[in-house]
């Protein structure tokens, strides 16, 4: 009874606040107020998730002996992905993995509508996964959480599709800004990864959300950067060749990470039983973390050690490599670089919940640190001390490079690393490495790890206005189904009766199984319609023609427009995968819908 009363009072309070905001305010004012609200919600959610992850990790690992391996590394990750998997399967009952991909899909195919449960379910599932050692990041789940808050508020205030899309972007920007304490990176993430085309007034809403979220994070966790970094070797032009080559190396590592993850995900996708997925994922994850504890959780502790020049044994604690010195460290980090992708994929494939944000940063720091160490020991010695690369600096450059390569987001990588460390003096080398990495992976992969799944299906919204509009259209909604069919055994008299009952000028001809065998136009039979003496001399086959092209229900609007351009037709028939006739798509109807969507996404 008390719970019911509380819910009623909460509903009344929310309705009162909603009515006040709607009040006499313009839509721009409402959007700005909602942006601030989304920023607060995203900031609180990000702080809560980080606290949960850190608390669980400390509780489980604080008693470990640093000098020895620990068998609990075999068990903890399995418990985490089991709990997360059970939570998702029996409580959430919905797929909440691949958070950023889900946001991209919601923007392009669901008019920016995200399910309400995503406001909290990703927090619980990812906290269990990562806190117990799952080798993934908390950023993608919290981005989905923030976007769900934005979508929910936008729906509550009945915002038009373009404003609802902006609210989703505000939630994503706020989440990134809060979890990394990086407001500019949050803004860049929305522009590069979510690929929203925004006006200046829209940018203001994103800035409000980002700044509000980061202020919430500052208030609750302090204003210090996420990573404590002290610059010792400033940028000089002598290290430009090394930075460019490091960028190329980061691009190649990004390519390896992206393709290997997609390959390994497909293997898990072929497994039908969730219990088989869990067992295999748990075994792979547990074994990898047992031998390489650096893969436990997000890996941010290892990043801190590398950018603060920790001793090799500090990085290799709890491992069989402990006491191996510099050579042992490079071997250890090299194996981690190669195997981390299997740990991350096994985490999600086995039932866990997490993203590739943290793994990208983690691998980038390792790639940069190793590159600098090898460079200094080889080319650096022959070129002179001025060309030496600082391993701690290159760990930062590598983080920007991997993010640029894996996410196809060079600006996000540049600003994120600068804001994460306060290392603004490193902007020039960060830009060099990020651009080189981006150009390298673009040669092999045109889309980011988030977008490639949707791009293959033609469901990806991009900065290309024409492509964006076609992506937002739905071919099924363009199918006109009120056509009178003709059968192959009809004579002209029966055809005339069909024409009389129809308001169309084109007619499908179908067989007894509803398969399309041809089309007839009104123009082709017009001069015969009033000659009754011919009614029983001509049949459907006398006038039937093959359609200029066929559309399938699985085709995209882009395919439809291409076929209209190729054939110069005004109507194209649509069949399903069995070849059965469904209806027609008209060029004029598709154009009208195209224009309507274009106006929606272009309006304020």
Q: What is the mean pLDDT of the chain?
A: 84
> Where are the domain boundaries for CATH 3.10.580.10 in the chain?
468-602
The residue among 369 and 229 whose pLDDT is bigger is 369
Closest CA to 437 of 358, 363, 492: 363
Whether pLDDT at 338 is above 90: yes
Average pLDDT over residues 346-370: 93
In sequence order, the 6+-apart residues with CB closer than 8 A to the CB of 161 are 111, 112, 600, 601
Whether 321 has a pLDDT exceeding 80, the answer reads: no
- Can you read off the two tokens belonging to residue 34? 């909602």
Pick from 337, 339, 347, 345: nearest CA to 369: 337
User: Which pair of tokens denotes residue 22?
Assistant: 């709607």
Residue 466 clears pLDDT 70, i.e. is over it: no
Mean pLDDT (whole number) for 468-473: 60
Q: pLDDT of 147-191, one tens digit each? A: 999 999 988 888 887 788 889 999 999 999 999 999 999 999 988
Tell me: the pLDDT tens digits for 207-220?
999 999 999 999 99
119/451: higher pLDDT: 119
404-459 tens-digit pLDDT: 999 999 999 999 998 888 767 788 999 999 999 999 999 998 888 877 766 555 55
Rounded Cα gap, residues 253 and 367, in angstroms: 8
| Structure confidence by residue, pLDDT tens digits, 582-604 | 888 888 888 777 677 666 655 54
Nearest in space to 79 (alpha carbons), one of 274, 300, 286, 299: 286
Contact predicate 194/169, CB 8 Å:
yes
Q: What is the pLDDT of residue 52?
A: 95
pLDDT at 580: 87
Phi then psi for residue 444, to 5 deg, are -110, -35
Q: Does position 266 have pLDDT exceeding 50, yes or no?
A: yes
What are the tens digits of pLDDT across the range 372-399? 999 988 876 666 666 788 888 999 999 9
> Whole-angstrom Cα distance, residue 327 to residue 317?
15
Q: Is the pLDDT score of 462 beyond 60?
A: no
Task: Give tens-digit pLDDT for 31-70.
Answer: 889 999 999 999 999 999 999 999 999 998 887 766 666 7
User: Tell me: the pLDDT tens digits for 548-559?
Assistant: 888 888 887 878
- Residue 170 to residues 42, 193, 212, 313, Cα–Cα distance (Å): 9, 13, 11, 43
pTM beyond 0.75: the answer is: yes
Residue 356, pLDDT above cutoff 80:
yes
Residue 258 pLDDT > 70:
yes
Reported as a single tens digit per residue, the pLDDT across 289-314 is: 999 988 998 989 889 988 887 777 77
More confident: 438 or 515: 438
Torsion angle defined by CA atoms of residues 182, 188, 189 and 192, in that order, rounded to the nearest 10 degrees: -160
One-letter-per-residue 3-state SS of 430-468: HHHHHHHHHHHHHCCCCCCCCCHHHHHCCCCCCCCHHHH
Closest CA to 461 of 255, 162, 212, 232: 162
Amino acid 185: pLDDT: 92
| Chosen CATH of 24-221 out of 1.10.286.10, 3.50.50.60, 1.20.58.1030, 1.10.3080.10 | 1.10.3080.10
pLDDT at 557: 81
Q: Which CATH number fits domain 237-462: 3.40.50.12160, 3.10.450.50, 1.25.40.10, 1.10.3080.10?
A: 1.10.3080.10
3-state helix, strand, coil in the chain (%, to 5): 70, 5, 25
Q: Report angle CA 443, 445, 448 to the nearest 5 degrees.
A: 130
468-602 under CATH 3.30.420.40, yes or no: no
Residue 198 has pLDDT above 70, yes or no: no
Query: What one-character-per-residue DSSP string does 237-305 give?
Result: GGGHHHHHHHHHHHHHHHHHHHHHHHHHHHHHHT---HHHHHHHHHHHHHHHHHH-GGGSTT-HHHHHH
Q: Could you tell me which residues come within 8 angstroms of residue 393 by beta carbon, excluding any fewer than 6 positions away?
A: 231, 233, 372, 426, 429
Decide if 177 contacts 213 (C-beta within 8 A). yes
In this predicted structure, what is the pLDDT of residue 42?
A: 95
Q: What is the pLDDT of residue 349?
A: 92
- What confidence score (pLDDT) does residue 469 get? 59
60: phi > 0 → left, psi -120 to 50 → alpha, else beta; which? alpha
CATH 1.10.3080.10 residue spans of the chain: 24-221, 237-462
pLDDT at 345: 94
Indicate if the pLDDT at residue 504 is higher than 90.
no
Nearest 5°: CA angle at 233, between 230 and 238? 150
């Amino acid at each position: 009874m008390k719970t019911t009363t509380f819910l009623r009072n909460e509903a009344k309070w929310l309705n009162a606040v909603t009515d006040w905001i709607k009040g006499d305010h313009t839509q721009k004012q409402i959007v700005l107020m909602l942006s601030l609200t989304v920023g607060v919600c995203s900031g609180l959610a990000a702080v809560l998730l980080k606290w949960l992850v850190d608390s669980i990790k400390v509780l489980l690992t604080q008693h470990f002996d640093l000098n020895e391996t620990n068998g609990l590394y075999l068990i903890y990750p399995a418990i985490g992905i089991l709990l997360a998997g059970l939570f998702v399967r029996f409580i959430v009952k919905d797929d909440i993995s691949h958070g950023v991909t889900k946001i991209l899909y919601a923007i392009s195919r669901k008019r920016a509508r995200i399910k309400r449960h995503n406001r909290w379910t990703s927090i619980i599932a990812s906290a269990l996964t990562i806190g117990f050692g799952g080798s993934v990041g908390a950023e993608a789940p919290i981005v989905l959480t923030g976007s769900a808050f934005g979508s929910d508020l936008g729906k509550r205030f009945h915002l038009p599709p373009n404003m609802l899309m902006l609210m989703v972007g505000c939630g994503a920007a706020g989440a990134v800004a809060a979890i990394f304490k990086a407001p500019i990176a949050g803004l860049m993430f929305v522009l590069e990864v979510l690929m929203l085309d925004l006006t200046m007034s829209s940018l203001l809403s994103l800035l409000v959300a980002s700044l509000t979220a980061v202020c919430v994070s500052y208030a609750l966790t302090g204003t210090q950067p996420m990573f404590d970094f002290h610059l010792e070797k400033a940028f000089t032009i002598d290290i430009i060749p090394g930075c460019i080559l490091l960028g190329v190396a980061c691009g190649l590592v990004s390519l390896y990470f992206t393709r290997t993850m997609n390959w390994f995900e497909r293997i898990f996708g072929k497994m039908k039983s969730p219990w088989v997925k869990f067992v295999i994922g748990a075994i792979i994850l547990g074994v990898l973390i047992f031998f390489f504890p650096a893969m436990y959780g997000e890996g941010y502790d290892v990043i801190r050690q590398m950018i603060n020049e920790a001793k090799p044994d500090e990085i290799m604690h709890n491992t069989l490599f402990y006491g191996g010195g510099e050579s042992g460290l490079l071997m250890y980090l090299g194996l981690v670089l190669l195997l981390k992708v299997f740990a991350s994929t096994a985490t999600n494939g086995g039932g866990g919940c997490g993203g590739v944000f943290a793994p990208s940063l983690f691998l980038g720091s390792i790639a940069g640190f190793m590159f600098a160490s090898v460079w200094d020991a080889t080319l650096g010695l022959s070129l002179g001390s001025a060309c030496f690369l600082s391993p701690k600096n290159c760990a930062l450059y590598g983080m920007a490079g991997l993010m640029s390569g894996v996410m196809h987001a060079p600006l996000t990588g540049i600003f994120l690393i600068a804001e994460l460390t306060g290392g603004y003096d490193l902007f020039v080398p960060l830009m060099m490495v990020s651009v080189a990495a981006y150009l390298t992976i673009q040669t092999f992969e045109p889309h980011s790890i988030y977008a490639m799944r949707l791009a293959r299906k033609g469901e990806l919204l991009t900065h290309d206005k024409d492509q964006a509009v076609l992506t937002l259209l739905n071919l099924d909604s363009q199918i006109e189904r009120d056509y009178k069919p003709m059968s192959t055994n009809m004579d002209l008299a029966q055809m005339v009766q069909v024409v009389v009952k129809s308001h169309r000028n084109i007619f499908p001809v179908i067989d007894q199984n509803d398969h399309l065998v041809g089309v007839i136009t009104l123009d082709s039979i017009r001069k015969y319609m009033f000659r009754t003496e011919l009614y029983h001399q001509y049949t459907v086959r006398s006038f039937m023609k093959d359609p200029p092209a066929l559309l399938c229900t699985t085709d995209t609007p882009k395919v439809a427009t291409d076929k209209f351009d190729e054939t110069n037709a005004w109507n194209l028939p649509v069949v399903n995968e069995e070849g059965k006739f469904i209806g027609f798509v008209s060029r004029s109807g598709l154009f009208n819908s195209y224009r309507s969507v274009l106006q929606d996404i272009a309006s304020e």
